[in-house]
Amino acid sequence: MASRRDLANAIRALSMDAVQQANSGHPGAPMGMADIAEVLWNDYLSHNPTDPTWANRDRFVLSNGHGSMLLYSLLHLSGYDLPIAEIKNFRQLHSKTPGHPEYGYAPGVETTTGPLGQGISNAVGMALAEKVLAGQFNRSGHDIVDHQTYTFLGDGCLMEGISHEVCSLAGTLKLGKLTAFYDDNGISIDGEVEGWFSDDTPQRFESYGWHVIANVDGHDSAAIKAAIDAAHAETDKPTLICCKTIIGFGSPNKQGKEDCHGAALGVDEVALTRAELGWEHAPFDIPADHYAGWNAVDKGQAAQAAWNERLVAYRAAHPQLAAEFERRISGDLPADFSAQADAYIQQCQDDMEKVASRKASQNCLNAYGPLLPELLGGSADLAGSNLTLWSGSRDISGDNADGNYIYYGVREFGMSAMMNGIALHGGFINYGATFLMFMEYARNAVRMAALMKQQSIFVYTHDSIGLGEDGPTHQPVEQLSALRSTPNLHTWRPCDTVESAVCWKSAIERRDGPAALVFSRQGLTPMPRSKKQVAAIARGGYVLHDCDAPQAILIATGSEVELAMQAAEQLVDKGILVRVVSMPCAEIFAEQDADYRDSVLLPSVRARVAVEALHADYWYKFVGLDGRVIGMRSFGESAPGGELMKEFGFTVDNVIANVLDVVG
């Protein structure tokens, strides 16, 4: 029977061999954390390699994602469908073992990590999801939701500001089933971190309200095991286990140095390391007794079978709750959601209410919320401005998990990354809000949601210079361009209550990516529409106002749709016939077939003007170089919103002048 150190050395061997073969990668972290991983995965982690999506599995997140070979080694050794051929194919095109862990490539990878700090943030979101789901569904004698979240992280994760945001909140929310292992090796890419990272990390986490276990020898299996037992004994606080490790453990000439952080050890050093570790096997050759020591299939299947029996008992005791739990875990919407949402959309059209679209968004939450018990919302300290609270909102706190609303505090980046963790966990449709301007703090988490195809709904209000007196620091200009240029992200900017209701429905029904819903502070005039036009909103762009033989096309979004409609009406008096196209989601419009796109933006009409009180450049893809764009080419100013609209040319007269110019 292989010893613990032998089992850990299998990780070290696979990691250094794969990195060496690729001549690219990070062997240091996997070799340094191998002993910790061996204890956690063999003695504690509840998972089933034959069913990586088992709902009650423990979650494991490698926040220091550059050490990806640690995770790939663990998945391969413990019995996941990740054969040795994929280990040999590390960092190669179309392999299941990319340079950083990518969600959806290898089974068992819970999230995409690499941008440091986001893995721990995802883990906090997963732990919160577990706590809330347990609060909503567990009943006396039936703990149907009961699993741990574990994460590995390094100095880099702790230096990133996002770690402060999420770890502070994790302590406040008393996420007692979250355990983080800090790889305290004192080394980063530039060398010894004491020159730029001298924080007292244990005290820092104690101040957050964490249970901290300091000075654990990360190469002593007994010490690691004792630390994990102590972590599990503390159920009211998350735990940080500070593990003293040697980066590149086993490499005679490079361990403990930055040399092994982000580069292959080299052929000669790999041979010396084999000798140092007593590893007498050829590259990628793992002995049968090592595989046997690692194999988690039987144990995992038994754990899932035991949980399935608990689920049967739960169904018998609480049939309605069980049915709802299984629906939510499967990701299915209530059967009547679509029909009821369509009825609400038509009601909005019939009511023709003039409100700010942020208020329209809140109205949508009040309409859709009662239909969706899985709806989990929040805001980054702007609930009263974002209007994200609805009549059924119930606060989540450290002492109350049976809620559906999270007060994230001023933590836009942390909120967004936690949302991704919640989405990855499953059982919820979650949204989080801030001002559009402050998506800048969160942009990388938004990108990660799109990259992982996760259903995070990002709600952004105060959508343009129209918010007024707060000035250019709060007035978004270039932010929509950034959102629209992000692959797999649907960015909506609705013009009234009806388009707001449609964009919420679209975001809720979409299962393969995130949405950004962008809403106004100022009131928006409702637009008249036929039922056919209402149905067309979901296609991203549609003809809102038409005429026979249009000479020009006006394209607008949000608050500027009204401006375009007013200009079209007045242009008739000047003998110019204009079609008005509302385009609340340009990405969805671009996904439509060519016939539909051409039916909206007539190829024969080259005289086109786009109007949007944000950055101008995006719209040239629709108007062409011979068209005109009325947009922002500078930052805003501090003044009442109406005055700013005049100052920057968002007036009927200017729209008319541009149409006349382009018509010629």
User: Across the chain, which distance is largest between two alpha carbons, in Å?
Assistant: 91
C-beta atoms surrounding 233 within 10 Å: 9
Q: Say how far apart CA 584 and CA 526 lie, in whole Å.
A: 14
Question: 405, 393 in Cβ contact below 8 A?
Answer: yes
Distances (CA, A) of 412 to 165, 418, 439, 450, 462: 9, 10, 7, 17, 15
Catalytic sites, residue numbers: 412
Q: Which two tokens stand for residue 348?
A: 């909005």
What is the DSSP pairing of strand 490-492 with strand 523-524? unpaired
Distances (CA, A) of 446 to 109, 330, 490: 19, 24, 11
Distance CA 206, CA 230 (A): 15
Q: Is 280 helix (H, G, I), strand (E, B) or coil?
A: coil
Please give the angle made by the CA atoms of 307, 311 and 314, to the nearest 5 degrees: 135
Rounded CA separation 446/441 (Å): 10
What is the DSSP-derived secondary structure letter of residue 369? G
Tokens of 374: 């899985």
Distance separating alpha carbons of residues 607 and 626, to the nearest angstrom: 7
- DSSP result, 558-606: TTHHHHHHHHHHHHHHTT--EEEEE-S-HHHHHHS-HHHHHHHS-TT--
Starting at the earlier edge strand, list the strands of the sheet with 178-184.
Answer: 59-62, 149-154, 178-184, 239-244, 211-217
DSSP state of 9: H
In whole angstroms, give the CA distance from residue 138 to residue 308.
15
Contacts of residue 479, Cβ cutoff 8 Å, sequence gap at least 6: 436, 437, 439, 440, 460, 614
Which residue pairs from 615-619 have beta carbons closer than 8 angstroms and sit at least 24 positions apart in sequence?
A: 615/477, 615/478, 615/480, 615/481, 617/481, 618/480, 618/481, 618/484, 618/485, 618/586, 619/555
DSSP string, 480-496: HHHHHTSTT-EEE--SS
CA distances from 283 to 14, 237, 265 (A): 8, 43, 14
Number of CB atoms found within 10 A of residue 487's CB: 9
- Provide the 10 A C-beta neighbour count for residue 288: 8
